[in-house]
Amino acid sequence: MRKIILVLGIMLLWNSHLLAQTVSGVVTDQADGEVLPGVNIIVKGTSLGTSTGMEGAYDLNVNSLQDTLVFSFVGYETQEVPINGREQIDIEMVQQTFEGQEIVVSGYQIQNTADVTGSISVVEPEALQNRTVSNPIKSMQGQVPGLYVNTSGDPTGATEVRIRGVSTLNNNDPLYVIDGVPTKQSAFEVLNPNDIESIQVLKDAPSAAIYGARASNGVILVTTKKSKANTFEVNYSSQVTLSQYATKPDVLDAEGRARAQWRAAVNDGLDPDQIPDVNYDWTRNQDGSATLNGVSFPDMITNGYPTSDTNWYDVISERGVQQEHNISISSGSERGGARMSVRYYQDDYILKHRDYEKFTARINSSYKFNEGKIEIGENLSFSNGLNKGLHDPGPLGQALNVRPLLPVYTTGGEYSGPPTGAFVDNTNPLMELDYNKWDQTSRLNLFGNIYANFEVLENLSINTNFGIDWGNSHYRDIQRTYSTGYLSRDVNSLMNSKSEDFAWNFNATAQYDFEYEDHNATILAGTEATKNTFSQNASTREGFAIETLDYFVENAGSGSQFVSGSRTGFSLLSFFGKVDYSFNNKYLASATLRYDGSSKFGNENRYGAFPSFTLGWRLANEAFISDNLPFISSLKLRVGWGQTGNQEISNIARFTLFEPSYGSERMLLPPWARGYDYANYGTAYDLFGNDTGSLPSGFRRIQTGNDELKWEATTETNIGLDYGLWDQKIAGSLDYFMRNTSDILISPAFIAVEGEGSSRFINGASVETRGWEAAITYRGGGNSFNYTVRANVGHFNDEITDLPSDVVDSYPGNSEKTILGESMNSIFGYVADGIFRTQQEVNNHADQPGKGLGRIRYKDLNGDGQITPLDQDYLGTSSANYEFGLNLKANYKRFDAEIFLQGVAGRDVIDERKERTDFTSLWAGTNYGSRTLDAWTPQNSDSDIPALTLADNNDEGRISTYFLADGSYLKMRRVSVGYTVQDFSVFSRLRVYVAGENLLTIKDNSGDDAFTSPDPENPTSNYPRPRKVSLGLNVSF
Amino acid sequence: MYTLKNSLILVLIGFLVVSCSDFLNFQPKGNLSEEDLNTPENVDKLTTAAYAALGNDHWFVPYSHMWAFGSVRSDDAYKGGLGTSDIGDFHRMELLSTIRTDMVRSNQLWERLYKGVDRANTALKRLNNVSESELPVKTQRQAEMRFIRGHFHFVLKTLYKRIPYIDETIPVDSLGSISNRQYSNNELWNKIAEDFQFAVDNLPMPAQVGAVGRADQLDAKAYLAKVRLYQAYEQNENHQVVNINTGHLEEVLRLTNDIMTAGNHDLFDDFAQNFLWEYENGQESLFSVQRSRDDGTPDGRMNRAVSLLYPMYDAYGCCSFSRPSQTLVNAFQTTQDGLPDFDGYNNDEMDEEQDFQNNTFDPRLDHTVGLPGHPYKYQNDIIYDVADFTRATQVYGPFSTMKAIQQVGCPCLVRSGGSGFSASSKNNDIIKYNDVLLWRAEALIELGRHDEALPIINDIRSRAQASTGRLVDDNGDPYSNYHIETYQDGVNINWTQENARRALRWERRLEFAMEGMRFFDLVRWGIADETMNEYFNVEENRRVYLSNGQFTEGQHEYLPIPEQQIDFSEGVYEQNTGY
């Protein structure tokens, strides 16, 4: 790689020495006359170029004074200037109009933003670059109003994306369309942030309706970079990041754990002297209270297990290192060209033995012939993600469970395990990471399309596109034997699971442009077919004599072997059309109709029709605005109505199905998988009492069909305003939307007497979502200091408006209160009304089993004198009502700086970690949080933390406001400072920068609302987002 | 050239339109449709799947062994585990006073038991439509399915009392509207009995069945006897026993007589054989849930219902649940006559090694309870040490359960991969011959024919007396100081009906201790209230956490109908009295 760069550099230098004639000049900003440093100047059709220096001046050697120069600069219109024999050319650059002149891809066609009448947001590609994440989708967080991105520190980059909140009760993932190829599964895998030319988010149904069946959660359109005509460009960027686990939970040390347990035992009337592995120096006072004078530990827990004071979070974590390298080469002529790029990304995560690597390569090329009337091209990307080490965040939970008294290693140097029954049945979290370090998933994706566009007549073009989305995953899971404490695994095993998903997509459109006097119209008609198939095979082999990575191959095993496999798929066939019309450049209208058929539905309701209509009025072009309010540089009112569909159900949901279930699934999970609902659905039985050998087996019903299933439909009305003031110094948009989703596809929970496999999909519920979004940009400065402020905020509220009675019970509620009228993300539970501080309070309170001094008092909401499930209510909603982003960018001479803030508000969180940080009674034998030391006692009567106990007689783990926390936060996502030099050595441009991520979080830290969990963003998710500092380099040749 | 390309595209579009009906027709892979199941072979396989449901339980929701609901909920056992919060719902059930109507484990139990009912009904629906010529064993299979349905309904009934009764004739659409009050308590018993009666009438004798795992005629007779025995103690709406129905007791006598005279079953020589894998499906076993290992399933169709019961000992692993109570251990004490110490048994705590030498005991103690200093599970090389075997000793005391545990060297025993949870392929006995004998004795006593009950109870005691062969250490010394005698009317007991009843109930307590039966016995006899509250009064001084225990008469005899199910039923289900 390095050699190529060197050779390329030498070639460039070589060229420049051959040339004789020189053109020079100064480049200034047309608006304020300030000189512009860093403007790129290139000789058209060649790779010759330079850029302006600090004073805006340039010198360029050219072959001929008849060439044409191309001036380009970010934020300015590109200009082509024929030299025409001149040697001095001064240029005034014109700032790009922020809104209006840009081109957007809006679904099978390209439009001018000025003509767009739906709610489409454009993501700045720059905002996705130089970020320390594996995929650019994750970086979209906070960039666009109405786009909600929920992320964790998961090194694989798994991310939840929601457009305008939630609209359905099942899958809320948007549809991604990359270079015209739709996908729901590969967007996180195949995209290289440096390849992205543009990202558009179709937020409302009026604009998304052209994607019909799969568009109800919004559509994200991605276009990748192509080569530019008459350019040759080489770009290289590199970044190294150090990351740190900065949000470790505050857990007890060995002495603190012993103190908490002593207190709990005293409170319960148990004899603390019987607590194993601790020696207490304590006295019983005359008033019955007890005082702890000191805590000491014996030298050993048991043989080989010295008593220790381990902080397990320190043990399992390390400083993370990330690196990223990108190179792209682009070469184009008038007739076409190619762009190639390669990206390597690696994240050695802050957990030990966890590593993620990704390699992405792309080649986009196109060629025009027949006087440019035919264009053929392809976009193809290859990516391979390699996720190494334990695939779940279990050890992060275990680190809280396992007590500090346990050493990491025994005196023999082996991993420790629970040595006695007094320790919880969790394995050593470090061993869990170490012994699973050979686990890995490699996911290989091939994604792309070939296309051919024909200009049949001057106004009629036909575009065809064939795309593939192919993914191949290989998961290897090696289970090693161990014997640590009372936990052991006697049999080792190797599991290899391979799955393949393949989708092809074909679409063809014809577009006719019509122009007559003040009338402009475009007519688009098209068809599309998509077929998806998925298959999976897995094999397991047990019994390997040697535990080395090289030995874990199926043939080397001598024990049992199991295989499993499955296949599924779906297909879609669509027809669509669109008419756009504008009159006098002031009045805009468009109409869309899409007709979709899906294999997921039965014959009767197989097809669905999805229409939309929009109107636009460019007010700024009206005389009464331009004459009276000249500061308004652009103003457009948009109104739209549209319908989209959703088909996100099982591919075979409409059938009643049985399956043999001989027992192919493993039911046993690692012991820390506590909450797992161990269920056993086997159909094999030892009828002959042989105790071993092959068993007779039968079938079980797995689902009940519904031949009347039909499309889930989303109807949305959007009203929007795009504005620009003072020559677009201030620009932005406002949107208001109302969305109704009806016939929601849902598989409701069912009454037990209906028996096994009674789950079935029905068209059940309706949800209404309303919200608004605002975005504003201000560009200021002048001279050598420029800055931009961009802010956006989105708000939504959802409400379930209709639920059939047999669906109601699938959602939180009780026999008196239903979720109707509430958000689908409502939290339902009891109201914790403080704790009982006097016996009188206990006596006066309603009948509450387990109540007592220091216990949580639950509100008797229905006043019937007893605390029952009917005393629950809707306590809040777990989806954020507001999400906002604020981006400040500035540059001064060669320096640039950026601050990006992002936050959410109006979100409630059930902080499940509080079960372990505040209580000794809900998780037996584990370690606890340091808050337990401040729990209520008669002496510490002001505390709001319930008295410590080992018996949860008051059922305090129930969902209640005690666990409710304000989930709002404001995070400083990124701060960066960069320095750019031009014409340095072989580089045309070189920028170095330092950046920090997640440096500061502002959240509610007051009283009981304080988060006991480490990250407000993902309070119950276990992958923390590290604090990061990066050093990076971008160069162009 | 353009026209050529355009035509190609048009052809392609046309092709898509024409073939779209095919294009959009995706069929499921690797599944069967309802129609596929109508062949005689597949209908028969559905009956196998119904049998499989008998053992489809797991450690958090055990129903093939009722340790959580029959032992922990009674005076037999403490919940155990790492502390009172380890499986909180079972702790609530142990204290009774803290039982909630929306306990997750109770709801799961209800759901999974009805899955069993459903598997039987699914098979029955199709069996009814198959002709005898297609499937010669049609009637036998119908009878087996009704037996299994009867079993699941019986288990549900003893847990929840008023349950919706579901058979294969109810249309799928109306299943949700079947009330749990459709039948009176007595009618519900009759519905369950009908299924077993059909099984009695149509099942062959064991020799003709050919598969030991299938229900046979004697199994059906035994189960029917059990149903009628429970039914005989008639309860009012407040769960109090208000009458004993002699008709049902007479039926118990007829049925148990048939079993005894058939000659297929007998008591083992040694009580221990009931609890050892080597003897499963032996002469004392009537109906049991078959378990298997190395059977081609990844984890084996093992007995995971009792996985949590294994002690912390290295070779077993985890998790020390269902711990014998001090009261239970004391109950094994005998007087100098070799009879139970009915009145004074619970005065002292038998918990030190020397207590078991200085006092006399029924030998069944060492078959049931792991005791300090004694070899564990007849393994003289494994001496029970409290610190090694138990956890949360300060909460749950020094004892461990034993009957459900298999010996370390047993080929049936498997340490589950990646966890400390052991499991074995030892069957779960649902009905044993000793149970049948004691039902008969119970019926005789309640019919006033207690003299006839005396030899039966003494058979049980004689067998216990003879069951000391495995309870001898390497020096030839018995583990404990055993002294047990039979009842001799006028010699060591005055065999009145009242004394006979007390003797019978005590005998059941010792014979089936820790087998998940005790609570159901207490409720059947109508003495749960007094027994449990006395237990809590005594035990709260021994196990502090039990001071919160309280049995409320007219409420805690049954679990509440899960709130979740009442919600699903839209109020069609009525909650049990007291909740």
User: What is the C-alpha to C-alpha distance for residues A630 and A623, in angstroms, rounded to an integer?
Assistant: 10
Does B176 contact chain A (CB < 8 Å)? yes
Does A484 contact chain B (CB < 8 Å)? no
Does A376 contact chain B (CB < 8 Å)? no
| pLDDT band of B13, cuts 50, 70, 90 | low
pLDDT at A13: 41
Chain A residues in contact with B418 (beta carbon < 8 A): 479, 489, 668-671
pLDDT at A651: 84
Chain A residues in contact with B569 (beta carbon < 8 A): 751
What does the pLDDT look like over A178-221, one tens digit per residue? 998 999 878 888 889 889 888 888 888 888 888 888 888 889 99
Does A1020 contact chain B (CB < 8 Å)? no
Interchain CB distance below 8 Å, B29 and A268 = no
> Which positions ≥6 away from B473 have C-beta within 8 Å?
B375, B380, B479
Nearest CA in chain B to A957: B88
Chain A residues in contact with B396 (beta carbon < 8 A): none
Does A442 score more than 50 pLDDT? yes
User: What is the C-alpha to C-alpha distance for residues B570 and B572, in angstroms, rounded to an integer?
Assistant: 6
CA torsion A71-A77-A82-A85 (nearest 10°) is -60
CA distances in angstroms from A79 to A252, A337, A427, B325, listed in the order given: 66, 21, 66, 91
The partner residue sitting opposite A652, judged by closest CB among B6, B28, B42, is B28
Chain A residues in contact with B127 (beta carbon < 8 A): none
What does the pLDDT look like over A151-183, one tens digit per residue? 888 888 878 888 887 777 777 888 999 998 999
Interchain CB distance below 8 Å, A955 and B100 = yes
Min distance A230 CA to chain B CA atoms (Å): 28
Q: Point out the least confidently predicted range of A301-315, A521-535, A938-952, B407-421.
A: B407-421
Angle at A599 between CA A598 and CA A605, to 5 degrees: 60
User: What is the C-alpha to C-alpha distance for residues A763 and A601, in angstroms, rounded to an integer?
Assistant: 12
| pLDDT band of A1, cuts 50, 70, 90 | very low
CA distances in angstroms from B218 to A497, A1035, B45, B260, listed in the order given: 48, 87, 23, 10
DSSP string, A243-297: EE------B--HHHHHHHHHHHHHHHT--GGGSTT-EEEEEE-TTS-EEEEEEE-
Look up residue A797 and give its two tokens: 């509220």
Interchain CB distance below 8 Å, B115 and A689 = no
The partner residue sitting opposite A597, judged by closest CB among B24, B178, B392, is B24
Does A275 contact chain B (CB < 8 Å)? yes
Chain B residues in contact with A869 (beta carbon < 8 A): 100-102, 563
Closest to A941 (Cα-Cα) out of A832, A831, A839, A830: A839
The partner residue sitting opposite A869, judged by closest CB among B50, B425, B563, is B563
Neighbours of A499 (CB within 10 A): 17
- CATH architecture group of domain B307-548: Alpha Horseshoe (1.25)
The partner residue sitting opposite B164, judged by closest CB among A488, A527, A753, is A753
Min distance B549 CA to chain A CA atoms (Å): 10
ipTM of the complex: 0.94
User: What is the C-alpha to C-alpha distance for residues A608 and B59, in angstroms, rounded to an integer?
Assistant: 47
What does the pLDDT look like over A83-139, one tens digit per residue? 888 888 888 887 765 444 567 777 787 777 777 888 888 888 888 888 888 888 888
Does B120 score more than 60 pLDDT? yes
| Mean predicted confidence (pLDDT) in A499-519 | 92
| Interface probe, candidates A668, A811, A830, chain B, greatest B C-beta count within 10 A | A668
Does B26 score more than 90 pLDDT? no
| Mean predicted confidence (pLDDT) in A749-775 | 90
Nearest CA in chain A to B301: A685
Asked if A696 and A735 touch (Cβ cutoff 8 Å), the reply is no
B residues 342-361 lying closer than 8 A (beta carbon) to A: none
Does A1008 score more than 70 pLDDT? no
A residues 187-226 lying closer than 8 A (beta carbon) to B: none
H or E stretch covering A609:
strand A607-618
Angle between helices B217-232 and B138-160 (to 10 degrees): 30
Angle between helices B246-262 and B433-446 (to 10 degrees): 140
Does A534 score more than 80 pLDDT? yes
Angle between helices B450-466 and B433-446 (to 10 degrees): 150
User: What is the C-alpha to C-alpha distance for residues A585 and A115, in angstroms, rounded to an integer?
Assistant: 9
Does B112 contact chain A (CB < 8 Å)? yes
pLDDT at A917: 86
Does B55 contact chain A (CB < 8 Å)? yes
| Mean predicted confidence (pLDDT) in B161-169 | 96
| Mean predicted confidence (pLDDT) in A645-673 | 73
Does B4 contact chain A (CB < 8 Å)? no
Does B499 score more than 50 pLDDT? yes
The DSSP 8-state label assigned to residue B70 in this structure reads: I
Does A1020 score more than 90 pLDDT? no
Does A1019 score more than 80 pLDDT? no
| pLDDT band of A664, cuts 50, 70, 90 | low
| Mean predicted confidence (pLDDT) in A790-814 | 86
Chain A residues in contact with B88 (beta carbon < 8 A): 922, 952, 955, 957
User: What is the C-alpha to C-alpha distance for residues B281 and A690, in angstroms, rounded to an integer?
Assistant: 10
HEC readout, A301-356: EECCEECCCCCHHHHHECCEEEEEEEEEEEEEECCEEEEEEEEEEEEECCECCCEE
Asked if A848 and A866 touch (Cβ cutoff 8 Å), the reply is yes
Positive or negative, the Cα torsion across A959, A962, A963, A966?
Answer: positive
| Interface probe, candidates A280, A484, A686, A701, chain B, greatest B C-beta count within 10 A | A686
The DSSP 8-state label assigned to residue A154 in this structure reads: -
Does B9 contact chain A (CB < 8 Å)? yes
A residues 68-87 lying closer than 8 A (beta carbon) to B: none
Angle at B264 between CA B258 and CA B267, to 5 degrees: 95
* Residue percentage of chain A with pLDDT more than 70: 94
Angle between helices B518-525 and B497-511 (to 10 degrees): 160
Does B52 contact chain A (CB < 8 Å)? yes
Interchain CB distance below 8 Å, B84 and A691 = no
| Mean predicted confidence (pLDDT) in B465-485 | 95
Asked if A712 and A646 touch (Cβ cutoff 8 Å), the reply is yes
pLDDT at A1018: 74
Does A9 score more than 50 pLDDT? no
Q: What does the mean pLDDT of chain B come to? A: 93
Asked if A164 and A144 touch (Cβ cutoff 8 Å), the reply is no
pLDDT at A811: 82
Does B212 contact chain A (CB < 8 Å)? yes
Q: What does the mean pLDDT of chain A come to? A: 87
Chain B residues in contact with A698 (beta carbon < 8 A): 45-50, 52
| Mean predicted confidence (pLDDT) in A955-966 | 89
Chain B residues in contact with A850 (beta carbon < 8 A): 98, 548
HEC readout, B420-467: CEEEECCCEEEEEHHHHHHHHHHHHHHCCCHHHHHHHHHHHHHHHHHC
Interchain CB distance below 8 Å, A489 and B36 = no
B75 alpha-carbon distance from chain centroid: 17
Does A844 contact chain B (CB < 8 Å)? no
B284 versus A1005: which is more confidently predicted?
A: B284
Does A557 contact chain B (CB < 8 Å)? no
Q: Which residues are A984's β-sheet partners?
A: A987
pLDDT at A15: 43
Does B108 contact chain A (CB < 8 Å)? yes
At residue B230, the 3 state secondary structure works out as helix
Chain B residues in contact with A422 (beta carbon < 8 A): 82, 391-392
Ramachandran class of A711: left when φ > 0, alpha when ψ lies in -120 to 50, beta otherwise = beta
Does A697 contact chain B (CB < 8 Å)? yes
Does A508 contact chain B (CB < 8 Å)? yes
Interchain CB distance below 8 Å, A688 and B213 = yes
Task: Look up the pTM and report it.
Answer: 0.87
Chain A residues in contact with B564 (beta carbon < 8 A): 809
What does the pLDDT look like over A480-490, one tens digit per residue? 999 888 888 88
Does A8 score more than 50 pLDDT? no
A686 versus A372: which is more confidently predicted?
A: A686
What does the pLDDT look like over B61-109, one tens digit per residue? 999 999 999 999 999 999 999 888 888 899 999 999 989 898 999 999 9
Does B36 contact chain A (CB < 8 Å)? yes
Nearest CA in chain B to A750: B568
Look up residue B89 and give its two tokens: 């719902």
| Mean predicted confidence (pLDDT) in A59-76 | 80
What does the pLDDT look like over B289-299, one tens digit per residue? 999 998 988 78
What does the pLDDT look like over A235-273, one tens digit per residue? 999 999 999 998 888 889 999 999 999 999 999 888 899
The DSSP 8-state label assigned to residue A996 in this structure reads: E
